[in-house]
Structure 1
Amino acid sequence: MAEATPGYELPLQLFAAFRTIIDAAHADLAEAGHPDVKPMHGFVFQAIGARGTTAVELGVRLGVSKQAAGKTIAGLEKQGYVERATDPGDARRKIVRLTAKGIDMLTVSARSFDRIQAQWAETVGPERLAALQADLRALAPGELFRLDVPGWFNGER
């Protein structure tokens, strides 16, 4: 029987595994021409979605202020990942949407996560990885992807 480890190690081990995955994905992104994206940008791109969003809606989805969302949008716009356009349904509103570069970043990251998962399956075995994923679903039920993580990390939610 395995010896129990102190309880504080579990969140650190989970975070270390998360960090390992994210660092590997960002190495792939840098190699594919996206060296300037940050881990938070994945949440931002998902919150923008395929149809786009406003700065106010983005802030709400991410759990950050409108000002923080606006600053993030401005930075990503400068890097060519997003663009602002007039909302076709309301000419008074500006919509933020992903550019082709932003969509490419998402495509590259999806391939990277698939590659990393395959490597983990090779390391621990596909059955153990599937069991780990099932266990994590049981321990952390509910939404698989919480967009409000950036705000949560900053204590805003």
Structure 2
Amino acid sequence: MPRNPHSPADTGQLADTRLEPDSRLGALARRLAAIVTDRVQGDLAGEGITDLRPAHLRIFAALGHGDGARVTEIAERLGSTKQTVGPLVDELVAKGYLHRRRDPADARAKIVDFTPDGITAAEVARRSAENIDRQWVDRIGDRRLAECRATLWELVDETADPTGGH
């Protein structure tokens, strides 16, 4: 099914949706993610990088700073599937941000890794996210931000296990 290039997530509209302090946590979390994504994409655009979508940035985050990964590993890190991640990786390869190389442990498999342009884009995105964290520390303080992070992690971690650890 073709993507809607004008979906709220791709046009920054999620960050403009009206919420209240007592809105559902999921709605607040989505808003926060949209704000971060919009800021990161704005910083990328400021560096002339305008062809990356939010889904591409998630691939970058899943690759991290390691020695690359197979598409199946990227999908696992994202809680997604090879069928979903594969086309995104293909797009990033076509755009010149990623490349594939033979896996030395299995000649049939390919490792996906950053190109020099991909390293640059990933670094801009990482710095942007770090700046956002610093601004939040300035706004609410280290202790409150650490509490927020710990609480969100507790909820995310429990959500990953639908039984709640029981």
**TM-score, length-scaled by structure 1:** 0.72
Q: 1:90 aligns with which of 80, 85, 106?
A: 106
Q: Which residue of 2 aligns with 1:60?
A: 76
**Unpaired segments of 5 or more residues in structure 1?**
149-157
Q: Which residue of 2 aligns with 1:130?
A: 142
Q: Which residue of 1 aligns with 2:10?
A: none
In the alignment, does 2:116 pair up with 1:104?
no
Please give the secondary structure, in 2, of the residue aligned with 1:103. Answer: helix
Q: Deviations over 1:53-86 (max 9, x none)?
A: 1222222222222222211111110111111111
Moved over 4 A (4+): 142-145
Provide closer, same or farther for how the CA distance between residues 93 and 78 of structure 1 changes in structure 2, counting only shifts above 3 A: same
AA aligned opposite 1:138:
A
**Unpaired segments of 5 or more residues in structure 2?**
1-19, 161-166
Q: How many angstroms apart in 2 are the aligned matches of 1:139 and 1:17?
A: 15
Provide closer, same or farther for how the CA distance between residues 64 and 18 of structure 1 changes in structure 2, counting only shifts above 3 A: closer
Provide closer, same or farther for how the CA distance between residues 18 and 66 of structure 1 changes in structure 2, counting only shifts above 3 A: closer
Q: How many angstroms apart in 2 are the aligned matches of 1:78 and 1:15?
A: 29
Q: Which residue of 2 aligns with 1:151?
A: none
Q: Percent identity?
A: 33
Provide closer, same or farther for how the CA distance between residues 56 and 141 of structure 1 changes in structure 2, counting only shifts above 3 A: closer
Provide closer, same or farther for how the CA distance between residues 85 and 31 of structure 1 changes in structure 2, counting only shifts above 3 A: same
AA aligned opposite 1:41:
H
User: Could you tell me how far 1:39 is from its partner in structure 2?
Assistant: 1.9
Q: How many angstroms apart in 2 are the aligned matches of 1:116 and 1:6?
A: 21
Count of paired positions: 138
Q: 2:50 aligns with which of 35, 38, 62?
A: 35
Q: Which residue of 2 aligns with 1:15?
A: 30
**TM-score, length-scaled by structure 2:** 0.68
Provide closer, same or farther for how the CA distance between residues 68 and 143 of structure 1 changes in structure 2, counting only shifts above 3 A: same
Higher mean C-alpha displacement, 77-86 vs 128-137: 128-137
Partners of 2:101 and 2:110 within 8 A in 1: yes
Q: How many angstroms apart in 2 are the aligned matches of 1:87 and 1:61?
A: 18
Please give the secondary structure, in 1, of the residue aligned with 2:51. Answer: coil
Q: How many angstroms apart in 2 are the aligned matches of 1:113 and 1:34?
A: 16
User: Could you tell me how far 1:16 is from its partner in structure 2?
Assistant: 2.4
Q: How many angstroms apart in 1 are the aligned matches of 2:52 and 2:61?
A: 14
Q: Which residue of 1 aligns with 2:131?
A: 115
Q: Which has the higher contact order (CA 8 A, sep 6+)?
A: 1
